[in-house]
Amino acid sequence: MLPEEEEKPIPTTEDTGTPEASSPTTAGRKRGGRTIRAKYGEDYYQRIGQKGGEVLKERRGSEYYREIAQKGGNANVSKYGSDHFSEMGKKGGNTTKQRQDPDFYKRIGKLGGAAKRRKKPS
């Protein structure tokens, strides 16, 4: 990724060589983004997506993400039912039991609520 001071500009129709009359739908059809990738780098779309996400986070705050996560979770419960999640939990627990040593659940059970959660990097 380029340093902030060396950012490449946002492309215009003159930059891409597409005719002025072409619509956004037809402009990239022939080259499939190759022109943009060649001019602005492989990670161009990643950079602009990241900037968009940062702007959205600044505008809406962390509560926005909490709300949409809750809506998504509720939609999944409506779609699959609570029994589905119970079954997935059992499968995950059995997989963990197979992968860990026999004393794993005994050890973590003793920790109880004392185990500290690591904060996710934001």
Average pLDDT taken over every residue of the chain:
80
Angle ∠(94,113,65) on CA atoms, nearest 5: 80
Distance CA 44, CA 18 (A): 19
pLDDT in the model for residue 77: 93
List the single range of 1-10, 62-71, 101-110 with lowest mean pLDDT. Answer: 1-10
SS (H, E, C) the chain: CCCHHHCCCCCCHHHHCCCCCCCHHHHCCCCCCHHHHHHHCCCHHHHHHHHHHHHHHHHHCHHHHHHHHHHHHHHHHHHHCHHHHHHHHHHHHHHHHHHCCCCHHHHHHHHHHHCCCCCCCC
pLDDT in the model for residue 55: 92
pTM over 0.85? The answer is no
- Give me the mean pLDDT over the 57-75 stretch: 92
For 22-57, the pLDDT digits (tens) are 566 665 566 678 888 888 998 999 999 999 989 998
- Give me the mean pLDDT over the 72-90 stretch: 94
